[in-house]
Each structure stands twice: as structure tokens, then as C-alpha cells.
Amino acid sequence: MKICHVITRMIVGGAQENTLLTAKGHLLKGHQVTLLTGPTDGPEGKLLEQNCPPGLEVVEIPDLIRNLSLWHDYRAWKQLRQFFHTHDFEVVHTHSSKAGILGRLAAWQEHVPFVVHTVHGQAFHQYQAQWKNRLYIGAERFAARRCHKIYAVAQAMIDQCVAAGVAPAEKYQVVYSGMDLDAFLNQRPEPELKAKLGIKDDELVVGKVARLFELKGHDCLIKAAPAILQRAPNTKFLIVGDGNLRQQLEQQIAALGLTDRFIFTGLVPPSEVCRYTALMDVLAHLSLREGLPRSAVQGLASGAPVVAYPLDGTPEVVINGQTGFLCEPENCRQIADRIADLLLDGNLRRRLGQQGQELVKERFSWQRMSDILEEEYSRGVAR
């Protein structure tokens, strides 16, 4: 098959890794795969510079930018439509909100045989102005009528879309976000890396893997830190990732007198994240908006139980009392208590971590994701 994926930008992020692994799986099966993407700028890193599958054709659409812009969006739609007109794709698969709306419209107008979309996370959510939510929901309804099927990385995403009236439930299907978990399952703590980071052998590590951006929950972990340290004083906090909030977060930590307890790694290549999760005793996933929390899956694959919120797809990964603990959103005291409980009880920590490993091995294989989508494409093109 000739397959085209469309995404707004290829930063180091969950939706982007999902898309790249899907393409990799289909290239290995002998399909022709093209990736259309907008410009990739910013502190999140450029995924394609670090990991681009052999044989993947990458084409940049300069006007396919993340922010709303009538002029750029119109030009991007025209460029997408022209590209689909001159290439006989059998499948166009869109990702992310902006690319999903423009890409589906253009592919539908050019009569591509099978047009599909994946919901990685909602453009509409409770932490956003209502007028924006109404705009995004209206756009998603429009685009949903111009594709054949919509996949979602978690059942929670489908439930939210159906409740908002985006499309009927029968148009959706869960395809869990696949990840390359072998490195996480097999990685062991590296003494040299611990020493480089300034982590002593007798210290416990609470980790967080996320871009340093709004709604990712770093501020709540920082607020919880004093109470955690009161119960488990030999704790270090390992912050993996970078973003525009770094200076602000460092100032917040300094105001609490905890600079020596927090370690910022900066941007870490996806292939090396496993080296850092292997050092973690507990992973905190405190994002207020997430489709399927990849960092929670990665932490569990490394044997670290996860403390998180029961939002979006998180409860499908973090099962309360089995693979970690779920806390009331932004309840920093409860977060501190649950993290400290795990730090102080090694048997509980290991049991939840082992159960988490078994769950993610079964559910989140990237090969399984790629195979499911290949079958979906074949049925869709043949119908």
C-alpha cells in the first residue's frame, strides 16, 4: 500500500513517536510510507534527527504550523490537497488536531480511498476557555464527517469525543499507543550515570518525564516535595525533559530551598530515556491533559510504580493499588502521601512495579499497534 501520515510537527513527543513507530512497522512490511509534517522548532527537540526509519519519505509543508492562522492554514490545506492530488495514496492517516482537520479535509476532497485519524489527546479540555472548546469541537465534528474511521490511544478519548458529539461511538476504535519497550524492560541502573547526576547509592529517586510546559504538573510535584522529604529525607527528584518553563520551575525550587534535591537533565534523546527511568523508584505523572501517558508506560516498563491523576487515558495504565496510585487532581498533599508511601515500603513498590511491567508488556507493544493498523488499512482499502 501507499500510505501517507500527516502531523503538525515532529518534536520529541508521544504522538510523534507513535506515528514514527507506525511508519517503521509498515515500512518493514514492504509498504511505501510518506510523512508530511510542518516545521519543527522549539526546545522539545527534533525527533527525525535522532530516529528516522530507513525508506521513510519526509516532506515538509512550511505553512502547516501549530498555531491558528487563517492565512497559513488556508495555504497548508491547498498544499496538502495538491500533494494528495499528485500522489495516488491508498491511505491518509492524520495525527494531531490541526493536521487532522486540514489533512482529513484535503484527503477527502481528493477521494483518497481510506482516510483515518488518530486522537492522541484532545484539543478541547476543561483547563481551556469555553469559546476555544466550542471552536475545536466544531472543527472536530466537521473533520469527523470527512474520514472513514477514527482511532484513539485510549478508551477515555473515545468517551470524551462521543460525549461532545464529535462522532458516534461506532466510528471509533481503540488502538493503544505502541512503544519500543524492550530497552525499558531490559535496562539496568548505571552506577556511572547515577554518579554523574549526583545521586548517592542510598538515595531514593522520584522521577518525572515530560516537557517543561503548562499543564504537565511539575509545579504540583515541587509543592509536594517538602512533605515527601519530611517522611523520606533521602530522596532526589529527577526531572527529565526541557521546555519554556525551566527557569520558572528552578526559581520555584530555589524559593523552597530545595535546589540540591532536584536534578534537571535537559532534553534527553528518546533512545536514552530508559537509562533515566531505570534510576527511578517512583514515577510521578501529574499531567492535567494527556491522551495515553507514555511516560507512565515507560516508567512501569522500568519497574517503577506510578503516581498520577485519574484523567484521560491514565487509569488504563495506572490501575489504582495495582500498578500505582491515582490521586485527586492537583491535591499536592495526597500526591506527597502516596509517593512517600511507596518510597518507604520497598515490598509494595516492587510488587506494583512488577505488576506494571506485566501490564505494559501485554498492552503497549509497537509491533502490535502497527499490525492492527495494517489490518485496518487493508480492510478499509478493500471495502
Domains and CATH numbers, the chain: 2-178+365-382 (3.40.50.2000), 182-363 (3.40.50.2000)
Q: Are 263 and 237 in contact (CB under 8 A)?
A: yes
Q: For position 124, what pLDDT does the model report?
A: 81
- HSE, CB side, 13 Å, CA atoms: give it for residue 49: 11
Q: How far is CA 64 from CA 10, 114, 267, 370, in A?
A: 12, 22, 24, 26
Q: For position 11, what pLDDT does the model report?
A: 84
Q: Are 136 and 123 in contact (CB under 8 A)?
A: yes
Helix (H) or strand (E) holding 99: helix 97-109
Q: For position 245, what pLDDT does the model report?
A: 94
Please name every residue paired with 262 in a beta bridge, in sequence order, or none if there are none: 237
Q: For position 159, what pLDDT does the model report?
A: 94
Q: List the one residue out of 279, 275, 236, 281 whose CA is nearest residue 259.
A: 236
Give the 3-state secondary structure of residue 308: strand
Cα–Cα dist 352/118, whole Å: 30
C-alpha cell of residue 222? 515541587
Q: How many CB atoms lie within 10 A of CB 347?
A: 7
Give the 3-state secondary structure of residue 12: coil
Q: For position 270, what pLDDT does the model report?
A: 84
Give the 3-state secondary structure of residue 310: coil
Ranges in the chain, pLDDT < 70 = 42-43
Q: For position 256, what pLDDT does the model report?
A: 97
Cα–Cα dist 33/226, whole Å: 50
Amino acid at 331: N
Cα–Cα dist 156/174, whole Å: 9
